[in-house]
Amino acid sequence: MPLAKERAYTVQDIYDLPDGERAELIDGVMYDMATPSRQHQRISMLLSTTINNYISSKKGNCEVYAAPFAVYLNQDDYNYFEPDITVVCDSSKLDDKGCQGAPDWIIEIVSPTTQARDYGIKLFKYRMAGVREYWIVDPRENRIAVYDFENENMYEPYTFSDKVPVGIYNGDLQIDFSELKGSL
């Protein structure tokens, strides 16, 4: 007797969720997204503002989006991501639904329910899709893991006492997490 197959979800299932419910879809598996904590939201706002202010001051072409913002990483029916912060420098990837393809820079802020995915499958998926830089901000562990995929998957660990250089801007933008920590 054959085993029952688990159902593969599609992007349409994400669209069909009731208002207020959010989920991500990774290879046809749906992951519910809990409401983020106040600290999580504060970090997201401070990082998004810092990045956006830098881009504006340089009159740059990149755009910053805070969650919820859809990323169709593989441009298929079985993958749908909502990173905490998404930076897209190629405007041809943007449409009314979100980002079609790999963003330039993704930041995930770890929460207890997302930790395994952020450090595991998302790290792999983002790298394979062509994301140039991926940060995992973990306030409970006082750690920022920086993956510079554009430069041979270089991994750099930082803490909330460090200034963290942004690889896609060749280090011209450095985010001072000690200042951020003082605002939390």
Is residue 85 a contact partner of residue 44, using CB atoms and an 8 Å limit?
Answer: yes
Q: What is the DSSP letter of 61?
A: S
What is the rounded CA–CA span in Å between residue 44 and residue 108?
9
DSSP H helices, the chain, are: 11-15, 38-57, 115-119, 121-129, 177-182
Are the C-beta atoms of residues 65 and 86 closer than 8 Å to each other?
A: yes
Taking the model in full, what pTM does it have?
0.94
Residue pair 112/58 in contact (Cβ under 8 Å)? The answer is: no
Dist. CA 10–CA 134, nearest whole Å: 25
pLDDT score recorded for residue 154: 80
Query: What are the CA-CA distances from residue 38 to residues 17, 97, 111, 113, 184 (Å)?
Result: 24, 27, 11, 15, 9
Residue 2 has pLDDT above 80, yes or no: no
Residue 31 corresponds to which tokens in the numbers above?
Answer: 């992951």
Pull the structure tokens for residue 10: 């599609």
Sign of CA dihedral 168, 162, 82, 25: positive
Sorting pLDDT into bands at 50, 70 and 90, what band is 152? Answer: confident
Per-residue pLDDT tens for 91-149?
Answer: 999 999 999 999 999 999 999 888 999 999 999 999 999 999 999 999 999 999 999 99
Residue 91 DSSP code: G
What tokens does 175 get? 């985010």
φ, ψ at 88 (rounded to 5°): -120, 125
Q: Quote the CA–CA distance of 23 and 31 in Å, as a whole number.
A: 5
Per-residue pLDDT for 180 more than 80? no
CB contact at 8 A, 43 and 139: yes
